[in-house]
Structure 1
Amino acid sequence: MNKNRDLILNGNISKVLFKLSLPIMLGNLIQTLYQLTDAYWVGKLGTEEFAATVFVWPIVFVMMSFGIGMNIAGTAIISQYIGADNTKDAKKVAGQIVAFSFVFSLVLAVVGNVFSPTILRLLGAEGAMFTHANTYLRIVFTGMPTMFVFFAYQCVKQGQGDTLTPMILSGISVFSNMILDPIFILDGYGGLGLGLGVAGAAWATVISRAIIAVYGVYILFFKEKLMPLKLSDLKLNIPVMKSIIKVGLPSSLGQSMEGLGFMFLNAFILAYGDSTITAFGIGNKINSLVLMPAMGIGSALAMVIGQNIGADNMKRVKEAFRSSIMISCSILMFGGLIIFSAAPYVVGIFTEDPVVLEQGVYYLKLISITIPLMGIFQSFIGTFQGAGKTTWVMLITAGRLWAIRLPLIWYFAKFTSYGEKTVWYSMVVSNLITCIVGYAFYLNKGWQKKIIEENNDPDRTERLQAS
């Protein structure tokens, strides 16, 4: 960890971003393979089953949002304490994050199972769509504790600047999921198939995540060298929890509002039929592969920003921001060109439906042209998250959907004849406007202030001067 800290505070900034972001990129690739594996096997069941899994994802995201927001806050606070060479307080934050994630996810599992049918009906799901979505959603809710506990593990490790071990555990999870998916989903697969259909996809995911969640907890309590946790660290610490909530609540609200926005977006898309929402789901899964480098660099940037703000090195903070934009946009331009050229072939992997194929190819080509905007967007998000300015992140992420994208969809749908292309055009325009707004926020120097309390320990001052 000390080597990571020295690298983050003093190493070549481009190399730092690449070294930290590469495991995150691989981790994101692994998570995307997770989704693509599910999509591939569920797609063999039919369009309705696939559409149901796409439809429920924003609902799951909303329910996860509060926990995700707390973990974002935890990473920001831990990284700033590590940068300030204060592991004692960083450990306190880690213990509270783990305890909160477990307790909150248990409550969420119960509430989600009870209200799943109501939520789906309010969003317009009916018939076979409702049946498949309700089955999938309830099982995913049941597995929420395993998901949240692993999120907490990632939060603690990434706050320290360790992105490698979470990636390795994610890889184990995906490998498990790839084995379990066809066995659980299909009937008679190799003589082992259980034929559970959509339910099988959900159970395969839950079991695969449970494996790494248990091992992640084992690492934090028995293998962690810098700040190993004890059961006493999980006891409620009100001052620490207040500081986490102060930073995490805006992020949670932003995540929730973003998830709600995608729920409404799905409702708009569903009005154009199952084929359109299936095309949207396929296009997003493919697009997420290209976005992985930008997302990885944005996450790495948050660690670099947090530790350097903690160490009072603002010159390096700004250098890291500029480098992240240059690297992200360059990679995304190259990836966008490949996806634009190969769109018919990659969409065709997931569907043989001619309507889905046509709509999916058009959507993917349009998004690939403007994909560098997402590199800029992720750099702003990483900067403000690392600085702990989660209110700004909330305004950017939620505003992109509620203030720009959804009104544009309504306008285009009402006053144009674009059909399902209404959604695609609105996405592109909203991404452009959001980048402009993000730059305006960046010019405001308020994000450069620390969110941690200063420690006047003279030994710490000497260590910082020596480093």
Structure 2
Amino acid sequence: MANKNVELMRGEPEIAVRKLALPIMISMILTALYNIVDGIWVAGLGPTAIAGIGFVTPIFMVLNGASVGLGNGATSSISRFIGAKNHEMANESATHALIIFFIASIVLTIIFIIIQKPLLESYGATGQTLNEAVAYATPLFLGLVALMFSNGCSGILRGEGDMKRAMYVVVATVILNASLDPVFIYIMGLGSAGASLATIVSAVIAAAIMMYWILIKKDTYVHVTLKNFKFNSKLARDILKVGIPSSLDMLIMAIAMSIYLILISQVGGDYGIATFTTGQRLYLFAIMPLTAIGSAVIAVAGSAFGARNGDYLSRAHKYGVKLGLLLGTAITLILVIFATPLATIFAYTPETANLVPGIAQYLQIACPTLILTGIGIPSSFFYQGIGKGNYSLMFTILREIVFVVPLMYLFVFYFNLELVGVWLGLCIGRAIASVINYLFARYEVKRTRAKFGN
């Protein structure tokens, strides 16, 4: 199966992107359900719990982003070696990736356990809201090793084009998470902590299964062995030159989220925070299919880059953008047309019913940006595929801070639009940055093709 996946990556780029994107898409949508399901069950605990978990969202983005980012670094490195038909270095890359995942998870766990409370307080969490936030965050931080290896091992499998088995693991663990949530939250009485604990238990199982395939069963294309491991600084840098910027993408987004939360708290209080964080759950869920397309582009573009095939490189990016644009438009129509029913899913109790209009408004104003985000995300992942993760980071900063934040403040304080101004800033700022991102990616494709001579 693995060899067929490798041949797929080396073949027609349109077919490869399409076939690889589908299982990634299913996996990411199901993974996003972790957060969605948590939100649905936590809604029964009241608005304070919703707001508390909302304050944890930017921190969780950093943690999850670090694991996904390092996984992307592994995907890029492995796929480029596979494209260059260097099996031995692909093996070494996967081995180094596992070591990096372990070290990073230990360091980040220590850091976030120490800073969690003052960090949440800096966002504006106080009183019972702060207690709920800490209760939800602590299990996530302590279980970071599981999250890191779950996403990291998925990155290794993506690097060799083996998307389906990771999808199977996700299906099983999402079902488990959905089953454990009510048990931990209500039956065992763990409240907000129960929601995050269910997520971590599910991640542990996912990581264990994939580690079994890679280290014990050894039926993957890349062969990982730790017995005679020798550190290769050049290879580690090859992974980290994509992994670190990709991880920092999420850190920048978390910083931006912190700015958004501070501004929203000023103009909308706990109601604004609850509205935004709930709507953001749906936004992050909706963006998963676009991210899946981008993840497929990493592997296919990486393979084409390793093979020095400029034509395939260009076609991989173009096809990813085409799929992203079509899918982004379809998702936007769903979110806008069904905004109120979707909002009701997350505010179904008498105590939270007043959130429905605000959540629906967020979906209808902020989420149309997904149309153009559909061309921006494949472009950012394209940079990672060719080993230029710093470009992806640059456009994340441009999108989430340089454009969005000033527009938010303009609409809120100059035009006095309050929460509507925040939603407009999100939509317009992200849309402008996505267009610029696409244009720069096409320029980078042209420059690379000139370098390859094809």
Q: Please indicate, yes or no, whether the TM-score normalized by the shorter chain is above 0.5.
A: yes
- Following TM superposition, by how much is the alpha carbon of 1:409 offset from its aligned partner in structure 2, in angstroms? 1.6
3-state DSSP of counterpart to 1:113: helix
- Following TM superposition, by how much is the alpha carbon of 1:76 offset from its aligned partner in structure 2, in angstroms? 0.8
State the identity %. 28
Q: Does 1:211 align with 2:212?
A: no
Q: Deviations over 1:48-77 (max 9, x none)?
A: 101111211111222454444332222111
Is contact 2:67–2:147 with CA below 8 Å preserved after alignment? Answer: no
Work out the CA distance in 2 between the residues paired with 1:243 and 1:405.
32
Number of the residue aligned with 2:46: 46
- Following TM superposition, by how much is the alpha carbon of 1:285 offset from its aligned partner in structure 2, in angstroms? 2.4
**Pair 435,181 (structure 1): closer, same or farther in 2 beyond 3 Å:** same
Number of the residue aligned with 1:351: 347
Q: Using the TM superposition, name which of 214-223 and 41-50 deviates more.
A: 214-223
3-state DSSP of counterpart to 1:444: helix
Number of the residue aligned with 2:189: 195
Is contact 2:62–2:247 with CA below 8 Å preserved after alignment? Answer: no
Work out the CA distance in 2 between the residues paired with 1:122 and 1:233.
46
What amino acid is aligned across from residue 397 of structure 1 in structure 2?
A: T
Number of the residue aligned with 2:237: 242
Q: Does 1:10 align with 2:11?
A: yes
Q: Deviations over 1:73-114 (max 9, x none)?
A: 221111000111111111111111111111221222222212
Is contact 2:29–2:289 with CA below 8 Å preserved after alignment? Answer: no
Number of the residue aligned with 2:452: none
Is contact 2:37–2:178 with CA below 8 Å preserved after alignment? Answer: yes
Is contact 2:53–2:133 with CA below 8 Å preserved after alignment? Answer: yes
What amino acid is aligned across from residue 319 of structure 1 in structure 2?
A: R
Work out the CA distance in 2 between the residues paired with 1:319 and 1:89.
26
- Following TM superposition, by how much is the alpha carbon of 1:337 offset from its aligned partner in structure 2, in angstroms? 1.9
1:176-195 to 2 correspondence within 5 Å? 176-186=176-186, 193-195=187-189
- Following TM superposition, by how much is the alpha carbon of 1:200 offset from its aligned partner in structure 2, in angstroms? 0.7
Q: Does 1:384 align with 2:380?
A: no
Q: Using the TM superposition, name which of 348-357 and 372-381 deviates more.
A: 348-357
What amino acid is aligned across from residue 395 of structure 1 in structure 2?
A: M
Number of the residue aligned with 1:308: 304
1:416-455 to 2 correspondence within 5 Å? 416-445=415-444
Work out the CA distance in 2 between the residues paired with 1:288 and 1:402.
18
Where in structure 2 are there 5+ consecutive unaligned residues?
450-454
Work out the CA distance in 1 between the residues paired with 2:236 and 2:228.
12
3-state DSSP of counterpart to 1:206: helix
Q: Does 1:258 align with 2:253?
A: yes
Number of the residue aligned with 1:144: 144
Number of the residue aligned with 2:96: 96
Q: Using the TM superposition, name which of 424-433 and 289-298 deviates more.
A: 289-298
Q: Does 1:282 align with 2:278?
A: yes
What amino acid is aligned across from residue 39 of structure 1 in structure 2?
A: G
Work out the CA distance in 2 between the residues paired with 1:443 and 1:333.
21
What amino acid is aligned across from residue 131 of structure 1 in structure 2?
A: N
3-state DSSP of counterpart to 2:418: coil
Q: Using the TM superposition, name which of 249-258 and 74-83 deviates more.
A: 249-258
Number of the residue aligned with 1:333: 329
Work out the CA distance in 1 between the residues paired with 2:232 and 2:265.
45
Is contact 1:80–1:308 with CA below 8 Å preserved after alignment? Answer: yes
Q: Using the TM superposition, name which of 84-93 and 219-228 deviates more.
A: 219-228
Work out the CA distance in 1 between the residues paired with 2:44 and 2:25.
28
Number of the residue aligned with 1:464: none
- Following TM superposition, by how much is the alpha carbon of 1:264 offset from its aligned partner in structure 2, in angstroms? 1.8
Q: Using the TM superposition, name which of 232-241 and 73-82 deviates more.
A: 232-241
Number of the residue aligned with 1:465: none
1:28-47 to 2 correspondence within 5 Å? 28-47=28-47
Number of the residue aligned with 1:454: none
Number of the residue aligned with 1:395: 394
Number of the residue aligned with 1:107: 107
Work out the CA distance in 1 between the residues paired with 2:33 and 2:71.
23
Work out the CA distance in 2 between the residues paired with 1:305 and 1:153.
20
Number of the residue aligned with 2:317: 321
Work out the CA distance in 1 between the residues paired with 2:144 and 2:443.
38
- Following TM superposition, by how much is the alpha carbon of 1:116 offset from its aligned partner in structure 2, in angstroms? 1.1
**Pair 344,247 (structure 1): closer, same or farther in 2 beyond 3 Å:** closer
- Following TM superposition, by how much is the alpha carbon of 1:164 offset from its aligned partner in structure 2, in angstroms? 0.9
What amino acid is aligned across from residue 424 of structure 1 in structure 2?
A: W
What amino acid is aligned across from residue 221 of structure 1 in structure 2?
A: L
Is contact 1:98–1:234 with CA below 8 Å preserved after alignment? Answer: no
| Number of aligned residues | 443
3-state DSSP of counterpart to 2:169: helix
What amino acid is aligned across from residue 263 of structure 2 in structure 1?
A: F
Aligned alpha-carbon RMSD (Å): 2.0
- Following TM superposition, by how much is the alpha carbon of 1:332 offset from its aligned partner in structure 2, in angstroms? 2.5
Q: Does 1:220 align with 2:214?
A: yes
Work out the CA distance in 1 between the residues paired with 2:447 and 2:250.
23
- Following TM superposition, by how much is the alpha carbon of 1:289 offset from its aligned partner in structure 2, in angstroms? 4.0
What amino acid is aligned across from residue 110 of structure 2 in structure 1?
A: V
